[in-house]
Amino acid sequence: MNFSEHKRDKQKTAIVIGAGIIGLTTAYNLIKNGVKVTVIDPGFSDCRASTATAGIIGGSSVIPWASSNLWPRLPSHLLKRNGPLGVALPLPADLLSFIKNSVIAGRHETRKKSAMGLANLGLRGWDYWQNLLVDLAEARSLFKQTGCLFFCGTNEQLNIENANNIIRREFSMDITDLCADEMKSLIPSLKTSVAGGSCVNLAGHVTDPLKLQEILKKAIIIQGAKLINSNVLGFSKSEGKVNAVRVDSKEYRAGAIILSAGAGSASLAKDLGNNIPMVPAWGASVTFTNTDINLKTPFLVLSDGFAVTSSKLGLRVSGLLQIGGEGKTTKMTDTLIYHAKKLFGNFSYSKILRLTGPRPLTADSLPFLGQDPYYSNIFHNFGHGHWGLTHAAVSANITTNLVLGRTSEIDINAYRVNRY
């Protein structure tokens, strides 16, 4: 049964669980379409993936993380000092199941399907954001479409990115190959060697991702959204429908319930009977305030797992990936500082701001997006990994259409929650 078949008095109310960039964007889009919204989240600010994002939209948006080439190189990645990957105790309870599904996802044909799924969302990201924010000029001013560079320090890294660019061009991404001198001219403060690179010309970035979330939060409050600062404990269910969301000693009811709680969504979805091969993958960012580095075009150093962008506060270096540890990520921020100084030498700055957050990493790189297979008024919108900002406006549009019984231009079969 589709949600549109429910009683008319339930069609215009929704509960959004989660207030990261996915949850806030979904809530805002629902309200724009006449839905009365309640947002439930325990924090509304710190320790979420959205806080540590690089802010890039549409950069490496079609390349799945899992591949058959990854596993042989995994030990060297983990053992590499200041490397892109880390493991810390305690490990996620479902890690073995996640690895099993990731190995399957890394096979050529499966990976090709994942790339298509990422492209369907990621390549629409910029345009959907512009359409969504038509009434929020302050938010639109944070978006800069200056392209995104791929930095390759060695010829080996350049060969890997050239192979990735073949995939990107299959999806009509506008990419320019760049020699070493061209890269140096685009990153004039560079103090390390570069073999070459490329530029995704239509990519963009958000200069202050936290400010964007603040604007969205303020906008939904002004338009009548109710914000509940608490953890979701579970659901009251009967006859293929969730009747209420349990929060502390209270229950909240709505016609539609959207799971957009990032890494915390897995346990909620499992409570509804779904198999969710997803783990929290911690990422980090450091911002050097009042720096003398003038960076006009953000760039990705995929070999070392991080991105460099300019922000309202200064120079931001974001990325890396740590499985386990429950937020113990001091080593990650130290690693990002090391890479920044390796790239730019002893540059000046006032102070360093450190942020961390758990990304919801799925085995096949694709989010869970769509109607729940068991409960007709539950809708999933989580698991976007490090593409959350890129996907947010697109997935908000898809979710709103599902809630209101409308058709979408995007085929969402690849993102169904019961695909495993």
pLDDT of residue 73: 85
* Separation in Å, CA 112 to CA 119, 163, 275, 411: 11, 14, 22, 16
**pLDDT tier at 309, thresholds 50, 70, 90:** very high
Classify residue 420: in a domain, yes or no: no
Q: Is the pLDDT of residue 362 over 60?
A: yes
Residue-averaged pLDDT of the chain? 93
Do residues 282 and 321 make contact, with C-beta atoms less than 8 angstroms apart?
A: yes
Amino acid at 403: V
Residue closest to 145 by CA, chosen among 62, 63, 206:
206
Give the dihedral sign, CA 158/164/166/172. Answer: negative
Task: Return the SS3 of 200.
Answer: strand
User: 316, exposed or middle or buried, with CB in 10 Å at 0-12, 13-18, 19+?
Assistant: buried
Instruction: Give the mean pLDDT of 50-67.
Output: 87
pLDDT of residue 3: 44
pLDDT of residue 45: 52
Classify residue 221: in a domain, yes or no: yes
Residue predicted with more confidence, 232 or 67? 232
Instruction: Give the mean pLDDT of 296-308.
Output: 96
pLDDT of residue 51: 76
**pLDDT tier at 135, thresholds 50, 70, 90:** very high
DSSP assignment letter at 39? E
Q: Is the pLDDT of residue 289 over 80?
A: yes
Alpha-carbon span 44 to 138, nearest angstrom = 20
pLDDT of residue 48: 65
User: 166, exposed or middle or buried, with CB in 10 Å at 0-12, 13-18, 19+?
Assistant: exposed
Chain mean position to CA 304? 18
Chain mean position to CA 81? 26
Bridge partner list, 56: 205
Classify residue 128: in a domain, yes or no: yes
Alpha helices in 325-413 (DSSP H): 330-344, 388-403
405 C-beta neighbours (distance < 10 Å), count: 12
Classify residue 319: in a domain, yes or no: yes
Residues written for the chain: 420
Chain mean position to CA 207? 16
Classify residue 362: in a domain, yes or no: yes
Instruction: Give the mean pLDDT of 328-344.
Output: 93
The range of the structural domain enclosing residue 226 comes to 3-415
Classify residue 235: in a domain, yes or no: yes
Classify residue 248: in a domain, yes or no: yes
Q: What is the CATH number of the domain that holds 262?
A: 3.50.50.60
Classify residue 379: in a domain, yes or no: yes
Query: Based on the structure, what is the number of domains in the chain?
Result: 1
**pLDDT tier at 390, thresholds 50, 70, 90:** very high
- 183-223 pLDDT tens trace: 999 999 999 999 999 999 999 999 999 999 999 999 999 99
